[in-house]
Structure 1
Amino acid sequence: MLLELSWRKTRKTGSEHVGSKIFLMVLTAQPDIKAIFGMEKIPQGRLKYDPRFRQHATVFTKTFDYVIKNIDFPEKLETHFENLGRRHVVMQGRGFDPLYWETFAECMTQAAVEWEANRQRPTLGAWRTLVSKTLLILAYSC
């Protein structure tokens, strides 16, 4: 329930903004990830306008929509993230490093801290738990 309310509140501020914010944080923390998407020559200030950036930012948002809608079905989420991890294994030949999952987890957690503005400690704890469990499944799948 905490996560659902938090996500609903975040969606009111613009769900695409959330995905863009997280993806920009990831690319800022690990600039070498840009190469996987063919964005290595795009200046930092222009990233959010690139169609490849916007597409993957939307993927982040849709993934969180899926998670929140299925939060009461852990087996379904586990299967989803195992499949996602396997799809990223294929990208290892294009430069994807499974350690990037940690960067994603840190950025996702930081985004949750920012959108909760440090007001809801139990909600932040719930986001951290969700991100940690997701990271374990993704890392195991790689």
Structure 2
Amino acid sequence: YFLQMSEWQSNPSDKALLRDTWSDDWEDLYNLGSDIYLYIFKVMPACKSLFPWIPKYEAEGRDFAQGKEFRSQALKFVQTIAHVVNNVNHLERMEGFLYDIGQRHVQYASRGFKPQYWDIFQDAIQAALANKMKSLPKLTKEERERVILIWRDIALYIILHMKDGYNDGMKGVNRYPGGVIIDH
């Protein structure tokens, strides 16, 4: 299944359903990103150590999720998902982009980033998007079931390429040494 997901293929109706259930609305993006990170921190509280501002907020008795740093991080993550959705007809262009994000996460190993965190991120994306799909009243039962599976596959695709970049980076390997050029 992982080999198949490295080159995700879908039909036009699946791609249309994917785009129809995505929103570029700023507040929707923030809520989705927030749901993803809150899921991660609930399932794996140790992930909080990757973000130096969280302990500061908690030490002051403040809710880190209300801080500008959290908002920025939540939006950054969903902008990556948005980039994939916007390029769903040419996902091969996204492989290097996602791989590079994985490469950049090597720097967080010193803060405690562990390879198994990728699986938690994947679960978080899937859970947040499934909840979002369940809240969309315009979908039929069949469309909702189908789009949850499509989003699951997209989450797997994203994390698979990020994980590849991270794992290669930990070995000092970079399959895209000249950088990644994305043609919008």
Relative to the length of structure 1, the TM-score reads 0.88
Q: Does 1:67 align with 2:91?
A: no
| Offset at residue 14 of structure 1 (A) | 2.1
State the one-letter code of the partner of 2:37. Answer: F
The CA distance in 2 between the partners of 1:73 and 1:64, in whole Å, is 14
Q: 2:145 matched to which residue of 1? A: 121
Where does the alignment leave 5 or more consecutive residues of structure 2 unmatched?
1-15, 136-140, 167-184
Q: 1:46 aligns with which of 53, 56, 63?
A: 63
Deviations 1:65-84 (A, max 9, x none): 21111111112111111000
Larger Rg: 2
**Distance of 2:134 and 2:27 partners within structure 1:** 13
Amino acid of the residue matched to residue 48 of structure 2?
Answer: K
Letter in structure 2 aligned against 1:14: D
Query: Aligned with 2:89: secondary structure?
Result: coil
If the length of structure 2 is used for normalisation, what is the TM-score?
A: 0.70
What RMSD over aligned residues (CA atoms) do the two structures have, in Å?
Answer: 2.1
Contact 1:37-1:52 within 8 A present in 2 as well: no
Number of aligned residue pairs: 141
**SS at 1:7's partner residue?**
coil
Question: What secondary structure, in the 3-state scheme, does the structure 1 residue paired with 2:63 have?
Answer: helix
- Residue in 1 aligned with 2:20? 5
Q: Which residue of 1 aligns with 2:46?
A: 32
Q: How many angstroms does 1:47 deviate by?
A: 2.1
1:15 is the counterpart of 2:32:
no
Give the unaligned 5+ runs of structure 1. Answer: none
2:84–2:91 contact (8 Å) kept in structure 1: no
The one-letter code of the counterpart of 1:49 is Q
